[in-house]
Amino acid sequence: LCAAADIQKDLGEMVKKDKVVVFMKGTPAQPMCGFSNAVVQILRMHGVDDYAAYNVLEDQDLRQGVKVFSNWPTIPQVYFNGEFLGGCDILLQMHQNGDLVEELKKLGIKS
């Protein structure tokens, strides 16, 4: 129980430490799931290269903890400025309707 509380606190800090934070299966260089790969590709298309990516496959506590933290049942998960943005479907739709460019602008990232 103590470990679970710790990871929630850690996650609060992890999502705020970098402007763009992704929890995914695998790494940006080697995604281990199509959905995680889609997120990596979308970010790349918008010229977002500098972001924090955490591999949930390497840490089961992190994998379960992040689902509780965001109240979101699936991986990948994307955070902008410490705020939960969504999973793969949401990022894809924001990419398609232009909202992603606007959100990145708010972060000072020009895509």
CB of 95 to other proteins, least distance (A): 12
For other proteins, the closer of residues 31 and 86 by Cβ is: 86
Residue 53 is inside which H or E element, if any? strand 52-55
Tally of residues, the chain = 111
Q: Does 74 bind other proteins (CB under 8 A)?
A: yes
Count the site residues for other proteins by CB under 8 A.
Answer: 14
8-29 CB burial, b ≥16 within 10 A, e <16: eeebeebbeebbbbbbbbbebe
Cα separation, 95 vs 3, in Å, equals 36
| Residue of the chain from 18, 52, 63, 84 that contacts other proteins (CB under 8 A) | 84
Tell me which of 51, 52, 81, 90 binds other proteins, using CB under 8 A.
Answer: 90
Binding of residue 87 to other proteins (CB under 8 A): yes
Q: Does 73 bind other proteins (CB under 8 A)?
A: yes
93 token code pair: 């739709």
Interacting residues with other proteins (CB under 8 A): 35, 71-74, 84-90, 93-94
